[in-house]
Copies of this chain bind each other. A is one copy, B any other.
Amino acid sequence: MKVNEMMDKDFIVVSPDDNLVEVSILMEKKLRFTTPVVDDQKRLVGWITSLDVTRGFREGMKKVKEVMYAKEDIVAVNEDDPARLAVLEASEYKVFNIPVINDDDVVVGVVRTFDIVKTLSSLYEIKVYKIFEAMEEELKGVTWEELMEASAIVTRRRTGKRVTAQDYEKRIRESTFGEAIWATGGLEKFFVGLIAIGELVIARKVAQARK
């Protein structure tokens, strides 16, 4: 996924000579806490936040250029950068919004952290049973029932709890991968469980074939 698939395209831009009062009205109306500042070619030249505006108001400043951050002092990403880059930058620099530019430095969007959260959620919020469907598809000759039975056996061995194949199926139909990861406390543990299930189901298949 690229940055341009995750960015807000309904962004606003302001110019260095824009009047601060008018800019504040625009930002409030569009609910934008931060806004790219561009030149007359729409190229990125700076960045303004609503906290700069409140300071500007208090200190009697009139124009965007009096309160804006210079381009050198902000983080930006290119529209063709991998989306992960914006994720890592938001996380590292603790910024809520990142301007997106093209190869000509023209501002083409803004990546907002709540959009990142949404994208990350949707990537990881797939239902666990989808993973089992993929597993069934891959393990030719293994039925869904065999997979659920093996899963229940592995779960009983690991947790000591009485879990039937039906219980297990119900659980994976309700829970998401995200929940499973948060619940098991990490990716490796989740995988280890899956691998154990895969191993058991293959072992049972091999044993049956030998009968």
Contacts and interface: CB of A to CB of B under 8 A. Distances in A.
Nearest to A86: B117
Interface string A77-114: 00000111001101100111000000000000000111
Contact of A49 (B33, B182, B202): B33
A6 to B, nearest CB: 11
Given A31-B51, A82-B182, A96-B113, 12 more contacts: A1-B182, A24-B58, A83-B182, A87-B121, A91-B114, A94-B114, A116-B117, A117-B120, A124-B124, A126-B186, A133-B188, A198-B202
Interface of A: 1, 21, 24-25, 27-28, 31, 33, 49-51, 53-55, 57-58, 82-84, 87-88, 90-91, 94-96, 112-114, 116-118, 120-121, 123-124, 126, 130-131, 133-135, 137-139, 177-179, 181-182, 186-189, 191-192, 194-196, 198-199, 202-203, 206
